[in-house]
Amino acid sequence: MSKHTIYISAILLLFLFAGCKSSVKPEDLYGKWKYTKIEHPNADPPEVPAAQLQSESPSIEFSKDNTYVIMWGGKALSHGTFTTDGMNIRIKETLPDGTTRAFPFWVSELTDKEIVFATLGQDGSKVTAVRE
């Protein structure tokens, strides 16, 4: 094997490992996350105004028993259970009539202080939140 081939192989491996994201783990999510930005690409307007976010104070809280609650305006907007799968948070929402519906939140960014996640589809949204 030539030095040139080894050099190119090493560069390709470096790019491969640099591009890999670690999976989201439940313990990465535990706590309360305050929404700082909500985007709806297919809506008009495409972003929830900052003043509304300030007054309604939306958040999502993930608990160690793998439950979650989304708060909006001081009231529970959604609640249920969650699991993680790669870069997805799999939500199982409990509806008022006791039935459930399942959908994923795709996580594009996650640090100790900030999370960015999105739902897909026509009514999809992208949320940026900070840990409280």
Q: Residue 74: give its domain's CATH number.
A: 2.40.128.540
Residue 120 lies in a domain: yes
Residue 7 lies in a domain: no
pLDDT score recorded for residue 87: 97
Looking at the structure of the chain, the number of domains it has is 1
- Residue ranges of the chain with per-residue pLDDT less than 70: 1-21
pLDDT score recorded for residue 20: 54
pLDDT, tens digit, 9 for 90 and up, residues 20-48: 568 999 999 999 999 999 999 888 889 99
Number of Cβ within a 10 Å radius of residue 117 = 23
Domain with 83, as residue range(s), is 24-131
pLDDT score recorded for residue 3: 44
Residue 100 lies in a domain: yes
pLDDT score recorded for residue 12: 35
Residues 6+ apart with CB under 8 A from 6: none
Residue 125 lies in a domain: yes
> Whole-model pTM?
0.82
